[in-house]
Amino acid sequence: MLEKRVVYKGKTKKGLRILVRYPCMDDVEAMRNYINTLSKEQTFIRFQGESQTHTQERKFVRAILDGLKNNTIVYLLAFHGDELIGSSQVEMKDKAQKHVGLFGISIAKAYRNQGIGKLLMSLVFSEAKLHLPQMRICVLETFAENSVARRMYEQCGFQVYGQLPKGLRRKNRYDDDVYMYKNIAWQGNS
């Protein structure tokens, strides 16, 4: 069972003590507060001011736990003390795209630019290698204006494969939606 399974406990490169683990049903309220805070901030995520209810978040967490059992998702939460400060996931697509994983990551405002994103990204891909052996390609979408994230993705091997002009809306302005991919060359997958 993956619930409460810790994958990292230690310090970031900048000395911040964090714990990274899989989610469980006890995390519903922390996850709801986390996404609602990011949504209010209108940072570079799909949520742009909307609020998740407890019921919606509970349903979301249940779906994650089902995906973990079925090896169709890897989902990690980063904590500093009791505070949820980041999340990252790779979720497998289905049918003709069942070899394609969709990557996502977010970090709380007070904890950005401290190396947590790179660490979390590394951990989620290490876990994906173990639990998502069917993945051959990983894709993501990002705001064109989010140069910090784009640079991190490029450093981790992602390449741009397309861009939808004005495909995203943030703070009442349109931004291009940048599509990136990374071939996954894990030993034994072909």
For 98-155, the DSSP string reads TTEEEEEEEE-GGGTTSSHHHHHHHHHHHHHHHH-TT--EEEEEEETT-HHHHHHHHH
Whether residue 124 has pLDDT greater than 60? yes
- Residue that wins the pLDDT comparison between 52 and 188: 52
Are the CB atoms for 88 and 104 separated by under 8 Å?
yes
CA-CA distance, 124 to 111, in Å (whole number)? 18
Whether residue 176 has pLDDT greater than 80? yes
pLDDT score of 122 = 96
Place of tokens 């070899």: 99
CA-CA distance, 137 to 135, in Å (whole number)? 6
25-62 pLDDT tens trace: 999 999 999 999 999 999 999 999 999 999 999 999 99
Residues in CB range of 9: below 8 A, 6 or more apart: 18, 19, 20
Whether residue 118 has pLDDT greater than 60? yes
pLDDT score of 109 = 96
Mean pLDDT of the chain: 94
Q: At what angle do helices 54-69 and 28-41 cross, to 10 degrees?
A: 110
pLDDT score of 73 = 98
- Mean of pLDDT values over 87-105: 98
Whether residue 70 has pLDDT greater than 50? yes
- For residue 74 the two structure tokens come to 């890897």
- Helix, strand, coil shares of the chain, percent, nearest 5, are 35, 35, 30
Confidence of residue 13 (pLDDT cuts 50, 70, 90): confident
Domains and CATH numbers, the chain: 6-133 (3.40.630.30)
DSSP 3-state assignment of 27? helix
